[in-house]
Amino acid sequence: MASTCPMMKMKKQSDHPCFGGDHNKAGRIHLPVAPGCNIKCGFCERKFDCANESRPGITSRVLTPEQGVERVRLVQRHMASQNGPQLKVVGIAGPGDPLANPKTFETFELVRQAFPDMTLCLSTNGLRLPENIERIAALGIHSLTVTINALSAETGAKVYEWIKYDRLKLSGVEGAAFLLQKQLEGVRLAAKAGLMVKINHVYIPGINDHETLDLAVKVRELGADMMNIMPVIPIGLFKDVEPPSELTMELVRNQAELILSQARHCKQCRADAAGLIGKDIDLEKLEASQLAS
């Protein structure tokens, strides 16, 4: 018997450059409206006033929802004036966790009203994903990225320093187990709701590399569409870890691709990235020129 679940919908193919679309033909913008985070990853150092680094957790400034809509309008107008690829995707990926920030949904609501044809996407650590699936689906968010860096609580305890959930602050194996349960349940519910689901996985030699392929199997079983295995950036607790070589990453991705489709062009973008992947717009320069005109 066919399911009558109101959240069920057919998955749509996408021109989203992070979900299999041609990243030379579709522009995307990340709106940095979500500064707060509910977990502490050992490899994460967030900076809210930084123009000199390019990695997740970095933004030149945090925007209000209204400022986010204005930035979409500015970037859309700029890309249209270049007579090349157009802005197609609006996402929220930080600089903290979007689901730990109420302004995430406020921003999506404003963007949906102002730009009804834009594809919306969301990146999260998954801690608050199960309880928000219905709201995410109701907004018409098409694509969801969930970062899962461990498949066991023991490994997770080496990756995460702590998690916060309501009044709970958990660490060690207990915290990692709680997070993992929420992540896997969130992936299952998101796939059931018809979202395109990508799993980000930070590959840390000697820490979680032994679980990467098993994770690919698990999330495929839960309905994920794609996986993105990223080399650890040696900062924070892992500042002394030697990142995996390009050859190692190629071998791991080739093995994982036998299990689940792999995203190979990820640039580990900033929380305020805009434009084409690998060809980001200089937002400070663009906004300065707008003020001067």
Residue ranges per domain, the chain?
A: 26-285
Pick from 30, 32, 54, 76: which is nearest to 290 by CA?
Answer: 76
Tell me: pLDDT of 9 over 60: no
Convert the pLDDT of each residue in 195-205 to its tens digit: 999 999 999 99
What's the chain's length in residues?
293
Look up residue 11 and give its two tokens. 């998955």
pLDDT at 4: 34
pLDDT at 26: 78
pLDDT at 7: 40
CB atoms within 10 A of CB 248: 14
Tell me: pLDDT of 292 over 70: no
**Confidence band of 282 (pLDDT split at 50, 70, 90):** confident
**Confidence band of 179 (pLDDT split at 50, 70, 90):** very high
The residue with tokens 């707008």 is: 290
Tell me the average pLDDT of the chain: 87
pLDDT at 225: 96
pLDDT at 125: 96
pTM above 0.85, yes or no: yes
Pick from 87, 92, 125, 88: which is nearest to 106 by CA?
Answer: 92
Per the model's pLDDT, the better-predicted residue between 277 and 96 turns out to be 96
pLDDT at 293: 61
Contacts of 207 (CB under 8 A, 6+ apart): 155, 158, 159, 238, 241
pLDDT at 16: 55
Q: Residue 55 half-sphere exposure, CB side, CA atoms within 13 Å?
A: 13
Tell me: pLDDT of 105 over 60: yes
Tell me: pLDDT of 88 over 80: yes
Arch. (CATH architecture) of 26-285: Alpha-Beta Barrel (3.20)
pLDDT at 10: 40
Report how far residue 98's alpha carbon sits from residue 111's, in angstroms, rounded to the nearest whole number: 15
Look up residue 53 and give its two tokens. 């680094």
261 and 250 in contact (C-beta within 8 Å)? no
Percent of the chain with pLDDT over 70: 84
Q: Where are the alpha helices (DSSP H) in the chain?
A: 65-81, 103-114, 133-138, 153-159, 172-192, 212-222, 246-257, 283-292
Tell me: pLDDT of 215 over 50: yes
Ranges 26-30, 77-81, 287-291: which has the least confidence: 287-291
**Rg of the chain (C-alpha set):** 18
Look up residue 140 and give its two tokens. 């018409």
Buried b (16+ CB within 10 A) or exposed e, 93-111: bbbbbbbbbebbbebbebb
CB atoms within 10 A of CB 161: 16
**Confidence band of 235 (pLDDT split at 50, 70, 90):** confident
pLDDT (average), residues 125-139: 97
pLDDT at 269: 67
Look up residue 124 and give its two tokens. 């999260």
pLDDT at 3: 37
